[in-house]
């Protein structure tokens, strides 16, 4: 991060209110296409897309040196089933049935990868029809299962990735996925986990994206407050069911070609179709630009849980704890883990600012090496954003009702350390 970008981001977030994220819409639905690798810098992306929360498309030049682009695709642009079976045939993968709706999503099952590929080949042979329905391999943690494989390198633009930095540190999960599906497979209307950013690279095939800027989803809810499963369904025209649909704007539509990367802003709902047999690589990620949006989302999720079990508030001694447990089971995180998330992010940056990076660490693919690559000013920016959100979390009444004695260091001590590190770095 250069000084001009640091100054720009500091000025923007000084008065930023994450509840205003829906205001960042695109005039006329235009989405920028980034053509040349050599003329597009990290600071360009940070300033023009991360800060204002705007989508963009990166050309296939940004992925042309990936191993998956070379090896997973045949000469005519189709999935290279033989190679994929050789490398991953014995893996067990999550597969969704696009033809079945269950609790506003597609039900999933676990299948051997070789069985899924055999299904896919038969599906193509039968004119994209099967008695089993349209099956879509989704949310496969391939990088975690096969770390030795030469699949891709995360572009520098997406390298400030707090979600995967944290979940890698605790060795529990990650938010890096592979998707593979036949023509006609699709993903219903949704926003990404924790209202994170996402990036999606097509290894082969084509996708159509319907994007709704943050806040537009409110006009798509039915009279009970539920979001639609399919935003193209004729039933949305029924004003007795969807009373505000006529106030919504048309979606921003993108057709993504092979090799291209789509950047999806934080909190933008979307629906996605595979127009051809398609393989894609996807990351969900959070950083200093959208961590406040994540925090707002968590507060909204807890409030929804509290409303749902409000009748048990008086008779239940540990009601506040139960709300946290339910929230974690639904979203994957609770307030105390969110504190630990912020702590890990902060401590990694404090370590780099205070101690620098030794030669051995800088040569490895580690979070601290990534922090160092992005520059000291980026680390300071990250700490300033962490201070902002941690201050809000510490003052939150629901957080203060929890037993915080297990948190180390205590929130007040961590905040003090953060502020001191920022002051020292800016001397």
d(CA 320, CA 396): 13
Residue 301 is predicted with a pLDDT of 97
Query: What are the extents of the domains in the chain?
Result: 28-213+249-285, 291-425
Residue 84 is predicted with a pLDDT of 98
Q: How many CA atoms lie within 13 A of 192 on its CB side?
A: 27
Angle between helices 367-374 and 376-395 (to 10 degrees): 110
Residue 247 is predicted with a pLDDT of 96
Instruction: Collect all residues with Cβ–Cβ distance below 8 Å to 396 and sequence separation of at least 6.
Output: 299, 335
| Environment class of 404 (CB within 10 Å of its CB; exposed 0-12, middle 13-18, buried 19+) | middle
CATH of domain 28-213+249-285: 2.60.120.650
Residue 228 is predicted with a pLDDT of 97
- Whose CA is closest to 214, among 245, 261, 252? 252
Using only C-alpha atoms, what is the Rg of the chain?
Answer: 22
Label the pairing between strands 56-58 and 32-34.
parallel
Residue 23 is predicted with a pLDDT of 43
pTM: 0.94
- The kind and range of the H/E element at 372 are helix 367-374
Residue 336 is predicted with a pLDDT of 98
The stretches of 309-358 forming alpha helices (DSSP H) are 319-331, 335-355
Going residue by residue through the chain, which has 427 residues, state the pLDDT in tens, using 9 for 90 and above: 899 999 999 999 987 766 545 444 554 578 999 999 999 999 999 999 999 999 999 999 999 999 999 999 999 999 999 999 999 999 999 999 999 999 889 999 999 999 999 999 999 999 999 999 999 999 999 999 999 999 999 999 999 999 999 999 998 889 999 999 999 999 999 999 999 999 999 999 999 999 999 999 999 999 999 999 999 999 999 999 999 999 999 999 999 999 999 999 999 999 999 999 999 999 999 999 999 999 999 999 999 999 999 998 888 889 999 999 999 999 999 999 999 999 999 999 999 998 876 555 555 677 788 888 899 999 999 999 999 999 999 999 999 999 999 999 999 999 999 999 999 998 7
* SS3 (DSSP) at 208: strand
Residue 358 is predicted with a pLDDT of 58
For residue 319, CA distances in Å to 118, 310, 396, 403 come to 50, 9, 17, 13
Residue 22 is predicted with a pLDDT of 44
């Amino acid at each position: 991060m250069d000084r001009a970008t640091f100054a720009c981001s500091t000025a923007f977030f000084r008065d930023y209110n994450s509840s205003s994220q829906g205001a960042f819409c695109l005039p006329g639905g235009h989405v920028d296409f980034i053509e040349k690798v050599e003329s597009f810098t990290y600071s360009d992306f940070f300033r023009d897309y991360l800060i204002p929360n705007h989508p963009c498309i990166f050309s296939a030049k940004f992925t042309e040196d990936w191993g998956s682009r070379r090896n997973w695709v045949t000469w005519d642009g189709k999935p290279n089933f033989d190679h994929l079976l050789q490398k991953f045939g014995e893996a067990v993968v999550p597969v969704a049935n696009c033809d079945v709706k269950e609790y506003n999503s597609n039900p999933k099952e676990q299948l051997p990868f070789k069985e899924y590929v055999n299904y896919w080949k038969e599906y193509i042979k039968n004119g994209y029809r099967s008695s089993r329905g349209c099956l879509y391999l989704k949310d496969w943690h391939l990088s975690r299962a096969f770390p030795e494989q030469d699949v891709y390198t995360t572009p520098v633009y997406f390298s400030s990735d707090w979600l995967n930095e944290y979940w890698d540190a605790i060795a529990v999960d990650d938010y890096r996925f592979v998707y593979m599906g036949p023509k006609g497979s699709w993903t219903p209307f949704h926003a990404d986990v924790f209202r994170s950013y996402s990036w999606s690279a097509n290894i082969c095939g084509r996708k159509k994206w319907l994007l709704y800027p943050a806040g537009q989803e409110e006009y798509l809810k039915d009279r009970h407050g539920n979001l639609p499963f399919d935003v193209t369904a004729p039933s949305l025209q029924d004003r007795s069911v969807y009373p505000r649909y006529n106030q919504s704007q048309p979606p921003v539509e993108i057709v993504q070609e092979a090799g291209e990367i789509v950047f999806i802003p934080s909190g933008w709902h979307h629906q996605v179709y595979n127009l051809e047999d398609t393989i894609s690589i996807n990351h969900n990620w959070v950083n200093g630009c959208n961590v406040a949006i994540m925090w707002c989302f968590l507060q909204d999720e807890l409030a929804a849980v509290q409303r749902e079990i409000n009748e048990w508030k008086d008779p239940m001694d540990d009601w506040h704890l139960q709300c946290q447990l339910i929230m974690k089971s639904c979203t994957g995180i609770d307030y105390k883990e969110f504190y630990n998330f912020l702590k890990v992010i902060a401590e990694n940056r404090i370590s780099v600012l205070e101690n620098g990076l030794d030669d051995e660490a800088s040569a490895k693919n580690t979070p601290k090496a990534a922090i160092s690559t992005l520059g000291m000013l980026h680390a300071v920016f990250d700490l300033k954003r962490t201070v902002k959100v941690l201050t809000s979390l510490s003052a939150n009444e629901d957080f203060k009702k929890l037993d915080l004695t297990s948190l180390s260091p205590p929130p007040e001590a961590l905040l003090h350390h953060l502020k001191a590190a920022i002051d020292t770095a800016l001397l």
